Structure formats: structure tokens, C-alpha cells
Structure 1
Amino acid sequence: MAPQFNLHDFELERVLNDDPQTHSVTLLGRQRIASETQQDPGPQAAIVRIEKTALPKFSDGLVVKTQVIESTDIYTWLFGWLQPSDSSPDLKINAIYPATETHIRKYSKQSVHIVRETPELYESIVKPYIEAFPSSRTQWVTDILTGTSEAEKVLFRSPPSSPDGFLILPDMKWDTVTLGSLYLVALALSSEVKCLRDVKKRHLPMLKAIRRETRRIVEERFGLESTQLRLFVHYQPSYYHFHVHIVNANYLGLQNMAAGQAHLLDDIISLLEVDSSPEGVIFQRMTLTYSLGENHGLFAPMMAAQAGLEDSEAGARPTAVA
């Protein structure tokens, strides 16, 4: 088992990223393992992401102190301090511990570039990259699927006899309280589908069931209509086990909903339905365009391959007639 993280033992090393838009900061630090049953391996790297939670519902007495910053004509700017509340925490804290160098690169501030991935580049670059991932990288997913962890949070689980089963539970990004930032995730029970490239027409029953059960659960449990939901799949995903993100449609500004990374589940279903090929493998035949951060493991080989795509296009252009 991984050692338990304790924020009070966390020693800050440096800031990996800060985002004023999401009111969050990601920190890198160290924590020494204190255990009587195992040898102390020394300080271990830890990543801590701290974000402001959504504002609680306004009521009299919520703001206990104000300070005027400036006032001009009819406009006034103030700082404000909220009443401490046991039911409305001020921060949500996510920790990765022990954190690997891969985690550190992933959460560090980085520039992104737009790349195009042809089916050939998927086979030669991306697929070997995915297949090289050790199973330990998705052990936390396996723990959820087997009920070893977070079993009490599961909102839906397919019957054991279901050939394309899945479960739905709150995503770690959600505070499980604020409906305006509702964030769930549907995880496929099978590890057969790693990413969008693996999705085929025969997976339509699973995709439609995820859409159907999501709508039912969210309406029954949270009172939201189906039209208030945004369901999407990432490519490239943050981990290679097929999953669908389920977010309140009014929750805007998330970077992971940007065009080129987020593919709406409805569009995925529609593309599979109109695919006339016998195998139903449209996502294996498409060229996919998406953003890659400079710290991503695919960045260097995919950027090197882009020049070849441009050269082939240049050679295919018709010669202008004088």
C-alpha cells in the first residue's frame, strides 16, 4: 500500500503551476514517511493541488468583514471575508503521494501545441506509448472497479453479467456538494478499451447505456435535467482506461473541455452510427487533432512527426497554372 499523505508534514519545494482562472495552485514538496513497520526511505515527492471551493449560498451574516479597495463615482471595489463554516470548506485539496517524475511533468506549467495524429502515427508512435504503460499506473482505477476503494461513492454499477459494463461515481475534482460544479465519471469495467481510438460500433450499447443511466441518476439524485449535462471523452486522456466525463453544462472554464481534447459523447455515438464500414472502426481511420503539453511523453515524437505531415501535404498540392 502507498504511504498515507499528511498535509501537516508537507514541506514546500516549489510552485508547479498557478491558475487565477480556476483559483488553484499546484505545489511540489516532500514528506518523510514515518512508519514503525517499514524502513524509512527518506523524503518522498508529493504534489498538492489546492483550489478554492464554490461560494456557499448567500445569506445574512455570510460576509463578516469588508475593506474598501477603491471607489469611483457609482463603482466600489471591496475585499471581503466570509464567516467560517464547518459545512462549507474554503479549499479542496488533492494530493499525489508518492509522486513520480511523470506526475511532476504533467502538473507543471507548460505550453501546449496542436498536433495531428493520423492512423499511421497512432500505430507507430501512440499505440506503443500506451502499451508501454505499466499496470501500476492505473492500479487506482482497478481498485475502484473491484470495490477495494471508493465503493461507498458508486452511484451505479452494471450487473455482473453485462458484457460492456461500467460504473458511475463522483470525480475527484468535485466537492460532492456544489451542484453548479457537478462532476461525475463513468468507468468501463473492462480494460479492453484504452482510449477513443479503441471505440468501435460494437461498443454502442455501452455508450448509450452510459448516457441513459447518467441522465436517470443525475435527475433522480441531483434534480438536474438531461439537457443540463455535458458528457465527453478526452483524447489524449489523462489515463488509459476508457472513461466518460459527466459535468454540469453550466460549469464553464475548465481547460479539459477545450476543443480538440474533449469529444462529446453524443457526437461519438453519432459517428459510430453513420459509419458504414463492416467493422465500425471509424475512430481508427480518422486523423485526430488535439493539444499536447511540452511535458507530455508523446510531445517530442509527435512534434517531430508533424514536419512529415506538412511535407506530404505540400507534395500533394496541385501545381498552379501560369
Structure 2
Amino acid sequence: MSHPAAPINLEKLNRFRFERVINEDPLTHSLILLGSLPGHSEVSSDGEHVAAIVKIERTALDPENASDFFSDKGLVKRVALEESTDIYTWLFGWLGEERERDIKINIICPATQVHIRKYSKQDVFMVRETPKLYETIVKPYIAAFPPARTQWVENILLGLSEQEKVLYSSPEFLILPDMKWDLKTISSLYLLALVQDRSIRSLRDLRRKHVDLLNTIRCESEKVVYEKWGLGKGSLRMYIHYQPSYSEDHFHVHIVNANQAGMMGMSVGQAHLLDDVVSLLEIEPEGGLGIFEKMTLTYGLGDQHGLFDAMRDASL
């Protein structure tokens, strides 16, 4: 038997007195609310209330409906353009006219086989990339990228697109929101620092001479989020991917709210904290090979990645 205060229908649930949000999770698209409900079913909305917690979570998208999202059946009732640059377009969608925006829609068109493989479900294999494997397998792979693959990043760096979103600009780097962020939910804040120096293509290319650049990125990122969103020092997690997840021709730093947890891209073996990278570079000896030239780096590689077969075979 349910408790007398249990809101077993919408009429009773509508008596919920909202007090505050006590938790939110952008990954599961959920909110946890604190408030109160009438202590007994017969108590009026003005009577004695008892504390209540309500969790609201958006349900998963049903793959059975996949063919109907964009069709004459029209599950998506309205969209609003967020940004479009080169082959990438981002929109927000509504599943009903009177609703809050329900979904974010990311489109890649035209999509290459590289894109299709990247976004397909993958099994991960842990590889140990020695300096020798980097020189013989990874570096030639990165060097072979056609310029068109990262044209959208180049457009940003050259001031041809997304300039209204740029939060900080200097001859050395730009800071702007990542396309995965909804530009609204502060707890899921996600920015990128895109570096102009084209000679830095990954973590492997960093040297002691780049410490000032990295420290400036950290400093200016902290200033931006404090001035725009009131987040103080210690509120950010800044990291560098290896292997980079995209735009391998353009070195970039990820800047996210420190309270984000379980987010893809922050896993061990891919994300290297900016402060740790700087500390390693600071102890790099003058002259000779750089510390990231000499290190063996271990990371997960999906079985659809272009490097997978060669790196797996070399690691076995």
C-alpha cells in the first residue's frame, strides 16, 4: 500500500511545492527537485506539507522511431539553426510546439567513410605507443590527412565562421564554446582553446618552449568563465586528448566544468590534464629530445579508427 502522501496521479503531483534544484545531470538529462507535497491525500494544497524529492529524467530516444524523426510523420515539429560551417550543422529541435527544446541535432554532410567509422559503435583496444611506433605509424597517418578534413576548424581560426561565439582572441589562440555544449547549462560548460600554431599537431609536438602558451590558455580560460559565468578558480577541468578525437591538424585544449563526470573524452588513457602536461614540460631538459618525444603513451583505440589494425598488430 502506498503512503498517504504519495502522488499517485497528476492532480496530486501538481500540488508539489518546488523549493530548489538539488542536483542535475546533463549526461542523463535529469533534474532532481526538492520541495514538498501534502502530508495526506485529503489535505488541501494549503495544508500541512512534507518534504519530497522529485527526479525528472528525459527518457531514452527509441530506435524504433528512428525512421520517423525526419519524415512525413514529423516527430520533430520545429528546429532552430545554431550554427553551420563547412560540412557541420548544429540545430535544436522541438518534439512539440509548446515544449522546451527537446533535442540537439548535429549534422555532418557530406559525411565521408572516416566520419561514418568514427561515429559507429566501437570496441576499444588499449595500445602502447612507443616513440618508434609514433614515428613509423602514427606520424605518417596524421601527415596524410587531407586539408578538407579539418576545414571547419581552419574557417574559425581564419575568422571566416563562428566569430560571434569567440570568447577570447589573440594571435596565439581562440577560446569559444564546443559544439557539444548547449550554451545554456553551466554545469555542462564546455569550451575549446584552438591554437593558431599549425606546427603543433598533438601532445607529441609540445616542448618546453610552449609552457608560456599553455599557461596563458589556462589563465585566460579562468578569466573568461569568471567574467561570463561567475565560476572561480578550481571550477574548471582542462585537458588535452591523445590521440586527439578530431581536428588533429589543429592543437586544442578542452575546458569543461569540473563537476562534469563520466563524460566521454575524459577517460584515463585519453585525457591528459593541462597542469600535468605543463609540469612535465617544465622539467624537460634544455636541448635534446622533448619529454613527449621520449614517452610511451598508452591509450584506447576504437576498432573503427584508421590506426587500429596497424597499432593492434604492432602491440601484439
1:171 corresponds in structure 2 to 178
1:129-185 CA-partner distances (Å, limit 9, x unpaired): 000001111111110011111000000011x4xxxx000000001001100000000
CA distance in structure 1 between the partners assigned to 2:100 and 2:194 by the alignment = 29
Q: Once the two structures are superposed, what CA deviation does each residue of 1:264-305 show, in whole Å capped at 9, x if it has no partner?
A: 000000000011242461001100000000000000000010
Q: What is the number of equivalent residue pairs in this alignment?
A: 240
**TM-score, normalised by the number of residues in structure 2:** 0.70
- Return the alpha-carbon distance in structure 1 between the equivalents of residues 107 and 259 of structure 2: 27
CA distance in 1, matches of 2:256, 2:162: 19
Distance 1:117 1:154, change over 3 A: same
The equivalent of 1:292 in structure 2 is 301
CA distance in 2, matches of 1:75, 1:57: 6
Alpha-carbon contact 1:200-1:272 (below 8 Å) kept = yes
Q: 1:56 to 1:110 in 2, by over 3 A?
A: same
Matching residue within 96, 102, 107 for 1:95: 107
Q: CA, structure 1 residues 225+84, in 2 after alignment: closer, same or farther (shift >3 Å)? A: farther
* In structure 2, distance between residues paired with 1:202 and 1:166: 16
Deviation at 1:84, TM superposition (A): 7.2
Where do 5+ consecutive residues of structure 1 fail to align? 1-20, 24-51, 61-73, 308-322
Cα deviation per residue 1:188-212 (whole Å; 9 max; x = unaligned)?
Answer: 0121101100111111111000000
Secondary structure of 1:114's counterpart equals: strand
1:254-273 paired onto structure 2 within 5 Å: 254-273=263-282
1:1-322 alignment runs, 5 A limit: 22=27, 88-158=100-170, 160=171, 165-238=172-245, 239-240=247-248, 241-279=250-288, 281-307=290-316
Q: State which drifts further: 202-211 or 271-280.
A: 271-280
SS in 2 for 1:177: coil
8 Å contact kept, 2:33–2:55:
no
Report the CA distance shift for 1:119/1:79 in structure 2 as closer, same or farther (over 3 A). Answer: closer
Cα separation, 1, equivalents of 2:58 and 2:302: 36
Alpha carbons 2:165, 2:176 under 8 Å: kept: yes
Q: Is the 8 A contact 2:33 2:54 kept in 1?
A: no
The 2-side partners of 1:250 and 1:78 are apart by 20
Q: Is contact 2:128-2:299 (8 Å) kept? A: yes
Root mean square deviation of aligned Cα = 3.1
Contact 1:201–1:279 (CA<8 Å) still a contact in 2? no
Kept after mapping to 2: 8 A contact 1:228/1:248: yes
Distance 1:196 1:79 in 2: 38
Kindly provide the CA deviation profile for residues 36-92 of structure 1, in whole angstroms up to 9, marking residues without a partner as x: xxxxxxxxxxxxxxxx5x6599999xxxxxxxxxxxxx99999889x9787942211
TM-score normalised by the chain length of structure 1: 0.69
Percent identity (aligned): 53
